[in-house]
Structure 1
Amino acid sequence: MMDSPTKFYYIGVDVGTGSARAALVDDDGNILAESTNATQTYRLESDSRIFEQSTTDIWSQIKLAITQVVAASKVDPSLIKGLGFDATCSLAVTDFNGQPIAVTPQPSSSSSEWGPGERNVILWADHRAEEEAALINSTGSKVLNYVGKTMSLEMEIPKILWLKKHMPDELFRQCMFFDLPDYLTYKATGSLARSNCSLVCKCSYVPPGVDGSELGWQPDFFEQIGLGEMVKDDFKQLGGVPGRNGIVLTAGQPVGDGLTEEIAAELGLLPGTAVGSALIDAYAGWVGTVAAPATNPFSESNNHPSLISSQNRLAAIAGTSTCYCVQSPSGILVDGVWGPYKHAVFPGLWMNEGGQSSTGQLIDFIIDTHPAAPALRTLASETNRSPFQVLHDKIDSLASDAGLSHASLLTKDLFIYPDFHGNRSPLADSTMRGSITGLRLDRSLTDLALKYYATLEAIALQTRHIVEAMNAKGHQIDSIYMSGGHVKNPVFMQLIADVCGMPVQLPFSSSASVVAGSAILGRFAADVKDPHGSGASGESAPKERTRIEDQKTAEESSFKYKDHLWDLMVRMTKPGTLVFPQKDEKLRRLLDVKYKIFRESIEIQRRWKGMVAEVTN
C-alpha cells in the first residue's frame, strides 16, 4: 500500500479598508480556517478629505489573524509553505529603517510637528491631493495614457507630491514610499522588491519596452511635476530602478528569501517560508474568482477555462468601494478607466481597472442619514433580523401590496445619481456629486426602504456604464465575477445581472474570494522557490528551485512559469453560483429607461455647473 502524498498548506492575507483577514488553505484551495480583525482609520474633524491608517496597527491585526488561523486549523507550521498578501492601494510612508513617518503633523506639547508617528498611511479614499492630481493631469505626460488619460487623486504619486509640498525637505528625503501591498512583503521579508501591480497601477510606472519606456520610471515626468530629486537618486525612495538598484516582480513571484527569522517567530511560522509578490486587493479578487469553473451560455467558457478566456470575464470586487478588473492580450485604452497596465498580474498581458469610489459606503450613508434609521435598527433588533433584511422584507411587502411584478416599479419616480464621493470611472471626475430626484416629505421606514433600493439601482446602472465604456473600446466582457461583501445581497446581485444584461457569478465563499487569491500567490511562490519542498505538480509546475536575485532572473522566471499560476488558479478556485438576467421584457424596458435617465443626470449636472461657473468665475 502506497503512502498518501503529504498535504501542504498556504496562508492568504487580505488588508481591506477596515480589516485584516487571514485564511489558511490546502493544496486544493479548501479553506480550513479564517480570521478577521478590525483596523483603525483616523479622520480629521476639520477636513473631511483626510483618511489615515497605521502600518503598526495593520501589522498587529495581521499577526493576530495569522496566529489565529494556524491555531484553529491545528496544522503543523512546517507544512505551511507559502504566504501571500494583498492590500488596498494606500500609501505607506517609512524611513529607510522601516520606521513609520506620520503623513500629517503630529501634535506635541506646544505645537504640531512633522516627523515619526504611527499614522503613516494615506488611505486610498483620502482626497487631500486634488491640486496635485490636477497639476499632474495638466502635464500631458505619456504616463497619463496608462491611467485612462486622467490620474486619480487616489493614486500614490499625487499623494507623494502633496507630502513633498507640506513636509520639511530634510524629512521628505528620509522617506521611503510604498503602495501598501509592497510594504507588507517588505515587512515580512526585509526585501525592497516591488510588485509590478502596485507600480503600474498606482505609481506612474510604465514597464520597460512599453511606449519607449527605458527605466520603467519616467524621469521627465518626475522633473516636470517637481519630484526631480527622485530622478537624481535613481528612484531609491520608490524601490529603485529595475536592473540597477531595484527588482520588480509579477504576481506571486517569491520575494527575497521568504520570512525573516524575526517575523517568522512573530507569526509562529518557519523562517524562509515563501512570500509571494503582492497584489492590490482588487487584483487578488481577480485571481481568486475569474478561473472558477462555470458553464455560461453567453460565452464559450466551460468548466476548464483557459488563460485567454479570462478576457471575457470582468472581476468585480465590491465592498466599501467597487473595482472592476479585466485582462486582455493587448493594451486597450479606455478613457476614464485605469490602465492599460502591462504585467499587472500575468507577464505580457494587460489589465484595465474601472471603479466606483463609494458603493458600500454610499449604501451605509443613505441608511445612516435617514430619519428612520433608529427605527430600522430597533425593528431589526426586536425581530432578530439584519437591517438589510428588514429593508428587503419591506420592499417585498410594498411590491406585493401594490400588485407590482418587480420592485424597480416602486422607484419609477425616484432617481439617485451615486457619485457622492466623486466619479472614478468612466468619467474620472472627482468633482462629480450625488443627487436625488423625486423627494417627498416622508420620514418613514417606507421612504428609507425606497431610497435604499434606488441606491442599489444607481450602483447597478453605473456598473453598466463602466462595462459599456470598456466594451466600446474593444473589450469583450460577457459575464461579471463578483467577490466582496455585496455578494451576500441576492437582490443586489440580481439587479446587476438585470441592468447589465449578463450573468453574474457569485463566488463559492462570499467572505474569502480575495484572501483566497492571496493564498494562491503564496502557493505559487512556494512552488517556484522550492518545488520539491512544496510538492509542486503538473506539466506547468517548476522543476527546479529559483532564487530571484536580479531583474533578469525575475523576468525569465515570470514568463517561464505563468501557465503554472493560471493552473493553480483553476485548481484552487471553487465553482460558484450563476445569477442570470430575468426574461422579463417589461423589466428590461424599464431598466433601459432608467439607464437613459442615469446618463442624462451626468449631462445635467455638468451643464448646471457650467452655468454657475459662468456667473461666479
Structure 2
Amino acid sequence: MTETHYSLGVDIGTGSARAGVFDDRGELLGEAKAPIAMHRPQEHHVEQSTRDIWRAICDATRRAVDAAGIEPARVKSLSVSATCSLVLLDRQHRPLALSTGDEGWNIIVWMDHRATAEAELCTATGAAPLANLGGVMSPEMQIPKLMWLKRNRPALYDSIGYAGDLGDWLGYHCTGIDRRSVCTLACKWTFDPRPNRGWDRDFLAQVDMTDVLERAALPASAAAVGEPLGPLSETAAAELGLTTDCLFAVGMIDAYAGAMGTLGRSLDAHSAHRLAVIAGTSTCHIGAQPERREVPGVWGPYPGALCDGFVANEGGQSLTGALLDHIVALFSAGGDFGDDPHGALSALLLARLAEGDPAPELHVRPDFIGNRSPLADPELRGAIDGLTLESPRETFIKVYWAAATALVYGTRAIIERMNANGYAIDTLHLSGGHNRSPLLRKLYADGTGCRVVLSEAPEPVLLGAAIIAMAARRHENPLAVARSLAPGEDLLEPDAAARDLHDKRYAAFRQLFDGRLD
C-alpha cells in the first residue's frame, strides 16, 4: 500500500503567520496561526522582524501538523506565500536592524510609505520599467524603499549584504539556497522576465541605484513559481518540526497564492473575463490571460508571476478590511456591537437593505492611505461626506455602510479600468476575510454587477501555497494540480433589483474623486 504524502502551505500575512497541511486532494487537514509583531517607529514607517516571524512560522507549522494528526515525516513538500515586505540582512547574512530593540526590526513592511518621494522620482524618469507598473512607481515597491535607505540611512545601506522579499528570504533561510521567485522580482523589483530583458540598468542609473544589484545580491535570472528550491536544512527541519526529506518549492506573493487557490482551476485561453479578488486587510485584484495587457494605474503586465503561460495584471486597494476595523475603532458606538462587530453590522445592514439604501446621502472616499489603483496616487486621503447631527450610534452604522460600499466601488473602478484595456471581466473569484461576510459577499455581486464565485476551500491562500508545493513534488504544472483538487465552488449572481441603488451610489462615489475616475 502506497504511503500518503502531504504538503504544507505557509502564509506570512501582515499580522500573523499561518500554516496548513493538505492532502493531495486539496483537503485542509490541520491549520494553525501565530501572531507577528509590528513596530511603528514614526508615521508611515512600519517594521517587522525575521526572528519574530521565524518563531511564528515554526510555532504555526508544528501545531498545524499536530492538528492534522500525521507524522511530520509524511510532509514531503512546502511552499510559501508572503506579503511583499523587504528583508534586510548584513554581509554576514544576519538581521540588519532598522530600529533599536530586542527584536531586531530588519523588515520594511509592504504598507510602509516612507519612500513616497523616492517613488515619485522613479515615476518622473518615464523609464521602461514603468510600462510594467501601470505607469507609476509605488512606494510599496522595493527599489524606492532601498533608495530611501541609501539617501537617508547611508551607513545602513552600505551594510546590506542581502535584501529580498519576505517569501524569498524564507526559502533561503530554510534551504541555504538563494533563488528569487519571478513573482516577487517581476511584481516588486522592476525585473522584466521576458527574454533578453531582466534588469534595466539605464533606469537604475537614472535613480542612482546601479549598485543595488550587487548590494542586495539580486540574481540575473528569476526562478519559476513552483520550481524545486531544495530540501530543508537540518537546522530548519528541526526548528519547524519536519524532516530534511521535505522539499521547499519557490513561492509567491500572498495575493498571487490566493489567486492560484481560487482562480487557478479556471485559467484558460479565455480567462480575460475572470478576476481574483483577494480581500482581507487590503485587497488585491488579479487577472491573467495569455496576452500582454498594459493597464494604466494597474500593476503589470507580469509574465509568469502567477504561472507559466499567463500574464498577470494586479489592481489593489491598500486599506479595506483594515479600514472597516478603523471605522469601528473610530466611533464610540463601535463598542456597542460586541466581540464580533463586523458580523453584527452585517446582519443589521442586510436587514435595513431590504427596505432600501440604509444611508443614501452618506458617502466615503476610502483611500485613507492613498489610492493604489486605478489612480496610483499614494497622497490621496479619505473623506466622509454627508454627515448630519444624529445619534452617534446611527451615524456609526451609516458610515460603516458607506465605507463597505465604497470598498466595493473601488473594485468596480478597477474592473472598469481593466475592461477598457483588454479585459472583459464579469466574474469575480472572491477569497480572504471579506468572503466570510454575508454583507460584503452580496455587495461584491450587486455593487459591481458581476457574478461572484465563492470557493468552498476554507483557506484559499494556504491552498495556493500548497498547490505550488504539490506541483514541485509531483513535477507537474501548478494549473494541472489546481484543476485536480477537491474543493467545490458556489456561485452568487447579482441581484437585478439592487442595480439602481448601486448605480446611484457609485455615481456619488465617483464625484468624490473630482473627475479623476473618468
Residue 124 in 1 paired to residue 119 in 2? no
Residue 229 of structure 1: which of 193, 203, 211 is its match? 211
Paired residues of 1:417 and 1:435 also in contact (CA < 8 A): yes
1:446 maps to: 394
Aligned counterpart for 1:572 among listed residues 476, 485, 492: 485
SS of equivalent to 1:412:
coil
The answer to whether residue 284 in structure 2 is matched with residue 287 in structure 1 is: no
How far is 1:332 from its partner?
0.5
| Higher Cα Rg, which structure | 1
Does structure 1 conserve the Cα–Cα contact (< 8 Å) formed by 2:160 and 2:215?
no
Q: Is the 8 A contact 1:372 1:443 kept in 2?
A: no
Structure 1 spans left out of the alignment, 5+ residues: 108-115, 243-247, 293-304, 529-540, 542-563, 607-617
Cα offsets for 1:255-310 (capped at 9, x unmatched): 1x221111111112121411111100000001111145xxxxxxxxxxxx453344
Q: Does 1:57 align with 2:52?
A: yes
Q: Equivalent residue for 2:14?
A: 17
Please give the secondary structure, in 2, of the residue aligned with 1:602: coil
For 1:32 and 1:174, locate their aligned partners in 2 and report how far apart those are by CA, in whole Å.
Answer: 40
* TM-superposition CA deviations, 1:237-262 (whole Å, max 9, x none): 243223xxxxx21111101x221111
In structure 1, the residue matched to 2:224 is 250
Secondary structure of the structure 2 residue equivalent to 1:323 = strand
Matched residue of 2:164: which SS?
A: strand
Residue 297 of structure 2, aligned match among 336, 359, 384? 336
Aligned to 1:416: 364
Which moves more between the two structures, 438-447 or 387-396?
Answer: 387-396
Cα drift, residue 228 of structure 1: 2.2
Residue equivalent to 1:601:
512
User: Is 1:99–2:94 an aligned residue pair?
Assistant: yes
Query: Matches of 1:445 and 1:278 in 2, distance apart?
Result: 45
1:164 aligns with 150
Measure the CA separation in 2 of the matches of 1:313 and 1:6.
Answer: 38
CA 96–509 in structure 1, closer or farther in 2 if over 3 Å, else same: same
Q: Does structure 2 conserve the Cα–Cα contact (< 8 Å) formed by 1:249 and 1:277?
A: yes
2: CA distance, partners of 1:180 / 1:38: 16
Counterpart selection for 1:484 from 417, 432, 435: 432
Aligned residue type for 1:590: L
Which residue identity does 2:346 align to in structure 1?
A: H
Query: Secondary structure, in 3 states, of the residue corresponding to 2:231?
Result: coil
Distance of 1:208 and 1:461 partners within structure 2: 34
Between the two proteins, the alignment pairs up a number of residues equal to 518
Q: Distance in 1 between matches of 2:53 and 2:18?
A: 10
Residue deviations 1:402-442 (CA, integer Å, cap 9, x gap): xx2x3xx1211111111111000000001111111110123
Task: State the alpha-carbon separation in 1 of the partners of residues 34 and 156 from structure 2.
Answer: 36
Structure 1, residues 513-544: CA drift from partner, whole Å, max 9, x if none? 1011101111111123xxxxxxxxxxxx4xxx
Q: Is the 8 A contact 1:90 1:123 kept in 2?
A: yes
**Corresponding letter in the other structure for 1:254:** P
Q: Which residue of 2 aligns with 1:76?
A: 71
SS in 1 for 2:94: coil
CA drift of 1:581 comes to: 0.2
For 2:250, the equivalent position in structure 1 comes to 277
Distance between the aligned counterparts of 1:227 and 1:452, measured in 2?
44
Match of 2:313 in 1: 352
Cα distance in structure 1, aligned partners of 2:287 and 2:156? 41
1:430 pairs with one of 335, 358, 378? 378
Query: What is the CA distance between 1:182 and its match in structure 2?
Result: 0.5
Q: 2:156 & 2:432 partners in 1: Cα distance?
A: 42
- Residue type of the alignment partner of 1:77: P
Match of 2:33 in 1: 36
Equivalent residue letter for 2:287: V
Provide, for residues 430-469 of structure 1, a one-character-per-residue CA deviation record: whole Å limited to 9, x for no partner: 1111111110123432221111111111011111000110
1:508 aligns with 2:456: yes
Please tell me the residue identity of whatever aligns with 1:98: H
Return the alpha-carbon distance in structure 1 between the equivalents of residues 351 and 260 of structure 2: 39
Match of 2:348 in 1: 394
Seen in structure 2, the aligned counterparts of structure 1 residues 117 and 596 have a Cα distance that, compared at 3 Å, is: same
Q: Is the 8 A contact 1:480 1:504 kept in 2?
A: yes
One-letter code of the match for 1:102? A
Native 8 Å contact 2:456 2:488 kept in 1? yes
**CA–CA distance in structure 2, aligned partners of residues 313 and 339 of structure 1:** 16
Question: Deviation at 1:594?
Answer: 1.6
Structure 2 counterpart of 1:223, one-letter code = A
Identity %: 37
| 1:175 equivalenced with 2:150 (yes/no) | no
| Alpha-carbon distance, 1:351 to partner | 0.5
- Once residues 86 and 450 of structure 1 are traced to their aligned partners in structure 2, the CA distance between those partners, rounded to angstroms, is 36
Q: Return the letter of the residue paired with 2:223.
A: L
The unaligned stretches of length 5 or more in structure 2 are none
CA distance in 2, matches of 1:168, 1:397: 57
Q: Is the 8 A contact 1:291 1:573 kept in 2?
A: no
Residue-by-residue CA offset, 1:301-321 (whole Å, 9 max, x unaligned): xxxx45334433211111110
* Contact 2:358 2:401 (8 Å CA) reproduced: no
> Is 1:86–1:518's contact at 8 Å kept on the other side of the alignment?
yes
- 8 Å CA contact 1:286–1:517 kept in 2: the answer is yes
Contact 1:506 1:578 in 2 (8 A): yes
* Aligned residue number for residue 193 of structure 1: 179
From the superposition, tell whether residues 139 and 34 of structure 1 become closer, same or farther in structure 2 (CA, over 3 Å).
Answer: same
Mean CA deviation greater in 164-173 or 34-43: 164-173
- Which among 499, 507, 510 is matched to residue 588 of structure 1? 499
Alpha-carbon contact 1:127-1:153 (below 8 Å) kept: yes
Aligned residue for 2:429, secondary structure, equals strand
SS at match of 1:32: strand
Out of 458, 462, 465, the position equivalent to 2:413 is: 465
Cα distance 1:171–1:339, how it changes in 2: closer, same or farther (>3 A)? Answer: closer
Instruction: Give CA deviations for 1:59-101 in whole Å, capped at 9, x if unaligned.
Output: 1100011111112222122321100101001111112433110
Alpha-carbon displacement from aligned partner over 1:337-368 (angstroms, at most 9, x marks no partner): 00001111222421000000100111111111
Question: Could you say which residue in structure 1 is the equivalent of 2:133?
Answer: 147
Partner deviation per Cα, 1:174-230 (whole Å, 9 max, x = no partner):
331101111111111111100000000000111242xx62xx111111111111223
Q: Shift of the alpha carbon at 1:399?
A: 5.4
Superposed CA offset, 1:358-388 (max 9, x none)? 0011111111111312333xxx26xxxx212
1:240 partner amino acid:
P
What is the CA distance between 1:122 and its match in structure 2? 0.6
- Residues of 2 paired with 1:229 and 1:475: CA distance? 38
Residue 263 (structure 1) aligns with? 236
Does the Cα contact within 8 Å between 1:289 and 1:573 map onto a contact in 2? no
What is the Cα deviation at residue 396 of structure 1? 4.8
CA distance in 2, matches of 1:186, 1:285: 22
Asked if the contact 1:371–1:443 (Cα under 8 Å) also holds between the matched residues in 2, the reply is: no
Q: Which amino acid aligns with 1:32?
A: L
